[in-house]
Homo-oligomer: A and B are copies of this chain.
Amino acid sequence: MPTIAIEDYLKCIYLEEQQGKKGLVPTGQIATALSVAPGTATAMVKTLSDSGLVHYEPYSGVQLSEAGRKLAVHVLRRHRLVELFLVQVIGMDWSEVHEDADRLEHAVSDRLIARIDEMLGHPTLDPHGDPIPTASGVVAESNHPNLVNCDLERPHQIARITDQAAEFLRLVERHGLRPGNRLSVLSRDEHADAVRLLSKDAGEVSLGFRAASKILVQPL
């Protein structure tokens, strides 16, 4: 049985692989993402490599093996189903479920997760718009534009928020930018690093490019 730490590392590597362009995830990136010392990540990566869960190229980085990917996706499934459960059944706010899910993902049994999946009607998206992997490990791919590269002055619906940090989600929530809400991008100014939006919910809002790129949308 994988330990909690191993599950967290695998999930982290999976997520870094997704957004990063190159094939290999450097150990330093893992260390930063998990808030551990660089040497700690290196040590764990060796353990994972010895267990056949990653392919490790010293001084380059790691890549999940097939076994590692399977495990990571399973953890991610539990995480996202738990998040949705906390929102829909428990009534927690979508912007504050991540921390709880990060602990519960290691404690829920297969039996329990199957019941939750059933209760929620086999959902495909979590409260942040992230895809929920299927029980067999399939993750739906999607390529929504974000607020930096989508069309200007065109109605869009928020599809996904790709940053789970509580502070960021609270900001997003404060500006009425929760998934499902409608908006259009009024203008962008690269020099000022500003994206001006018109949100159906909260009126005019201005975001930096960094923040704007984390909000994925779907044209209507």
**A interface residues, Cβ below 8 angstroms from B:** 86, 89-92, 99-100, 103-104, 106-109, 111-112, 115-116, 119
Identity of the chain B residue whose Cβ is nearest the Cβ of A89 in the assembled complex: B89
Partner of A111, one of B100, B104, B106, B111: B100
Cα distance, A106 to B112, chains bound together (Å) = 16
Cross-chain contact B100 with A109 (CB below 8 angstroms):
yes
Question: Taking the nearest CB of chain B, how far is it from the CB of A149, in angstroms?
Answer: 37
Provide a sorted-by-A list of 12 A–B residue pairs whose CB atoms are within 8 angstroms. Answer: A86-B112, A89-B89, A90-B115, A90-B116, A90-B119, A91-B115, A99-B109, A100-B108, A100-B111, A100-B112, A104-B107, A107-B107
Contact B99 A112 (CB under 8 A): no
Which chain B residues border A86 with CB–CB below 8 Å?
A: 112
In the complex, how many angstroms separate the beta carbon of A101 from the nearest chain B beta carbon? 10
A104–B108 CB distance below 8 A: yes
- Please, how many angstroms separate the alpha-carbon atoms of A111 and B93 in the complex? 12
Bound complex: CA of A89 vs CA of B119, how far in Å? 10
Kindly state the separation between the CA atoms of A91 and B111 in the bound complex, as whole angstroms.
Answer: 11
Contacts A90-B116, A115-B90: A106 and B107 contacting too (C-beta < 8 A)? yes
A92 x B112 contact (CB < 8 A): yes
Residues on the B chain within 8 Å of A119, using CB: 90
Q: Which residue of the partner chain B has the closest CB to A103?
A: B107
Q: A129 to B49: give the CA distance in the assembly, Å.
A: 48
Residues of B within 8 A of A89 (CB): 89
Q: Which 7 A-B pairs have the closest CB atoms?
A: A107-B107, A103-B107, A104-B107, A90-B115, A100-B109, A100-B112, A91-B115
15 further interface pairs, Cβ-Cβ under 8 Å (given A90-B115, A92-B111): A86-B112, A90-B116, A90-B119, A91-B115, A99-B109, A100-B108, A100-B109, A100-B111, A100-B112, A103-B107, A103-B109, A104-B104, A104-B108, A106-B107, A107-B107
Closest residue on chain B to residue A106 by CB atoms? B107
Q: Which residues of B contact A108 (CB under 8 A)?
A: 100, 104
